[in-house]
Amino acid sequence: MRILRYFCCFLFLNLPVADLLTLDPAASSLLEHYIKNKDVIISLKHIRPRRKLSISTEALFVIDLPKIKHKISFFLNRVEHLVTMDISSNSLTVSKSFLLPYNNESSTIRSLAIAFHGKQISLYIECNEVSVHSVEKGLSQLYLQSDTPSIKLFRERKYPLYFDGSIDDALSRGNCHRVRKNGNKKLLKNKTHNKDRNKRQENKRNVKISDLYLKQSDSENSKPNLISNDISNQLKSLNENLRQHNERIKKLEDIIKHYERQTDYKKFK
């Protein structure tokens, strides 16, 4: 599949561009107008899958700077989920790929935007920036490189194509601000819900900690009473033992006295 894509790219770059895509003079003039102001965003809408694709790679548009023999070509590969950018200059081609995170072979891409901002080229799919690549020279710099600058745009005419000078204007075409606004509301709602849930959990933890502290405090307050009761019981036991001991001593004394009286009586007789 990769070899097939490279073969398709080779074929595209070595055939006249007009044989594959159509030159759009009006779009070329608009592109020239925007790149004079440095930044330009090229947007395509409703890119539908081809029926029974024999070749997975589809050319989207080509920017041609004939005075300096420089081309920037963009291809869509639904099978490998890529948008490929081929930069061809003086017969040397460098390829860079933008990954499509949530595209499949049968889905319609509602909005695709490529932003040229200085030396950075960014890809936006369905209102989201998915990838960025850096280049040696920006589009505006390449255009002004020639003394008599010229630029041409070849494109697939079945896809609506638009130009803007800012990414906000480009995204607003696909109601992206509404999507982001709704997404922000949902995000805010989720944050509020999570905050309330965390607060409830924190309150539960505080209640458990308070209960534990009270139980611990009650336990600590009851310790002196337990100690006092234990000492009192021990004193009572000692007193009882002492009383029993005194009784035994008294009995022994009585026995001794009785024995002495009997001895004295015998001696007297």
pLDDT digits (tens, 9 = 90+) for 173-189: 766 754 444 444 444 45
The pLDDT tens digits for 25-78 are: 999 999 999 988 778 999 988 888 776 555 678 889 999 999 899 999 999 988
- Domain residue limits, the chain: 2-173, 175-244
Q: Is 128 exposed, middle or buried (0-12, 13-18, 19+ CB in 10 A)?
A: middle
When mean pLDDT is compared across 10-14, 36-40, 206-210, 226-230, the lowest value belongs to: 10-14
Yes or no: is domain 2-173 CATH 2.60.120.200?
A: yes
The per-residue pLDDT for 84 is 92
pLDDT value at 207 more than 60: no
The per-residue pLDDT for 196 is 61
Q: Is 22 exposed, middle or buried (0-12, 13-18, 19+ CB in 10 A)?
A: middle
The per-residue pLDDT for 107 is 78
